[in-house]
Amino acid sequence: MKYYVMTLFPEMVSEGLHTSILGRAMDAGIISLETVNIRDYSEDKHRHVDDYPYGGGAGMVMAPGPIARTYDAILEKRNKPDRPRVIYLTPWGKVFKQEDAKELAKEDDLVFLCGHYEGVDERVLEEIVTDYYSIGDYVLSGGELPAMVMIDAISRMVPGVLTNEESGDAESFENSLLEYPQYTRPEEWNGRTVPEVLLSGNHKKIAEWRTERSIDRTMQYRPELMEQAVLDKKAGKYYKERLKNSEE
């Protein structure tokens, strides 16, 4: 997987992503990241990339020219006959979910366009963008953080990025349940002990306990996810009991 990120803040993106699991995957050549500075494609002597909005109003709008030239430079570097998917990050886009991460991970390369100021001239969006994504219902100052969020989540779905041990975690979101609580040493900390069952060595009991805690958490924090939850017979029974108790 190769990512190209069109941005005014290339260091923010490359430095932010070159750590931990993604850093390891980049060093191993499984994924690669190329940031392209939109400002380098300004033809203005002051390297401006924005201008006043037609029709008036507050803030500045990113001009189409520098973005289109940045995109052309990427096409040239990429040197393939087809057009890549180009993702624009915006609060009005489709809300990004785990299933989107999985689907986008199948692409060979992805281009991200990070906007700033009050927005981007609509015409260049029409010309190059294929997908509009939001990472949630709040407004951020620019597209860099959302692009980084998406690149992290997508990369985890690219084969070879996670070790076998790590991919177990990803799978647990697959059944739409939230993670169960985790504990490590010491066995007693600040007067709080680790749940007995986790020390028992009984793997079946531990798995059941974890599923039940996942159900508890999901019911408490994201009850709407329970509709799509995939539960085995025993977990289904536990969920029904909990529902019944909460109705009483």
Check if the beta carbon of residue 11 is closer than 8 Å to that of residue 39. no
The residue behind tokens 């995939």 is: 230
* Size of interface with ligand ADE, in residues (CB under 6 A): 11
Q: What single-letter DSSP state applies at residue 248? A: -
Candidates 143, 157, 178, 231: give the one binding ligand ADE (CB under 6 A): 143
User: 57-96: which residues touch ligand ADE (CB under 6 A)?
Assistant: 89-91
Could you tell me which residues come within 8 angstroms of residue 120 by beta carbon, excluding any fewer than 6 positions away?
Answer: 61, 62, 64, 67, 88, 113
104 lies in the site for ligand ADE, by CB under 6 A:
no
Check if the beta carbon of residue 57 is closer than 8 Å to that of residue 119. no
Q: How far is the CB of 4 from ligand ADE (least distance, A)?
A: 17
Cis previous bond, 146, omega within 30: no
Candidates 146, 153, 161, 211: give the one binding ligand ADE (CB under 6 A): 146
Cα distance between residue 179 and residue 221, in whole Å? 11
Cα distance between residue 155 and residue 175, in whole Å? 20
User: 149-208: which residues touch ligand ADE (CB under 6 A)?
Assistant: none
Q: How far is the CB of 149 from ligand ADE (least distance, A)?
A: 8
Q: What single-letter DSSP state applies at residue 140? A: -
Q: How far is the CB of 91 from ligand ADE (least distance, A)?
A: 4
Q: Which of these segments, 64-72, 133-141, 152-160, 168-176, binds ligand ADE (CB under 6 A)?
A: 133-141
Candidates 139, 171, 188, 203: give the one binding ligand ADE (CB under 6 A): 139
Secondary structure class of 98 (helix, strand, coil): helix
Candidates 55, 79, 80, 138: give the one binding ligand ADE (CB under 6 A): 138
Choose between 143 and 218: whose C-beta lies nearer to ligand ADE: 143
Q: How far is the CB of 61 from ligand ADE (least distance, A)?
A: 14
Check if the beta carbon of residue 51 is closer than 8 Å to that of residue 60. yes
What's the Rg (C-alpha) of the chain? Answer: 23
Give the bridge partners for 111, in sequence order. Answer: 4, 86
Choose between 75 and 142: whose C-beta lies nearer to ligand ADE: 142
Candidates 14, 98, 134, 175: give the one binding ligand ADE (CB under 6 A): 134
Q: How far is the CB of 134 from ligand ADE (least distance, A)?
A: 4
Could you tell me which residues come within 8 angstroms of residue 131 by beta carbon, excluding any fewer than 6 positions away?
Answer: 85, 86, 87, 88, 93, 94
Q: Which of these segments, 23-31, 121-129, 132-140, 237-245, binds ligand ADE (CB under 6 A)?
A: 132-140
Choose between 134 and 172: whose C-beta lies nearer to ligand ADE: 134
| Contact residues: ligand ADE, CB under 6 A | 89-91, 134-136, 138-140, 143, 146
